[in-house]
């Protein structure tokens, strides 16, 4: 991401009254324990490592937190 990294984005979302309710799954090439723990502490619902999950695992994780549109 050109302006901020994923952890910075999570921190920004968490500070916003309305956006803080959006469920976020981290999908990152970085996967050290400290990075994962920080993401979870900042409110991430899960952490998926690029290259370590296939599309079906990604879709399963997304569908777990996706809400149907109110329309």
The answer, as to whether pTM is greater than 0.85, is no
Average pLDDT, whole number, for the chain?
86
Which tens digits make up the pLDDT trace of 12-38? 998 998 888 888 999 888 778 998 999
The pLDDT of residue 31 is 77
The pLDDT of residue 68 is 62
- Which is higher by pLDDT, 69 or 7? 7
Which structural domains are found in the chain, ordered by start? 6-65 (3.40.50.2300)
DSSP track, the chain: --S--HHHHHHHHHHSTTGGGS--EEEES---HHHHHHHHHTT-SEEEETTTS-HHHHHHHHHHH------
pLDDT bracket for residue 10 (50, 70, 90): very high
């Amino acid at each position: 991401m050109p302006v901020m990294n994923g952890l910075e984005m999570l921190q920004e979302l968490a500070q916003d009254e309305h956006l803080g309710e959006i469920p976020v799954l981290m999908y990152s090439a970085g996967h050290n324990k400290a990075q994962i723990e920080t993401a979870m502490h900042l409110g991430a619902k899960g952490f998926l490592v690029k290259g370590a999950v296939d599309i079906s695992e990604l879709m399963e994780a997304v569908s777990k937190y996706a809400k149907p549109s109110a329309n």
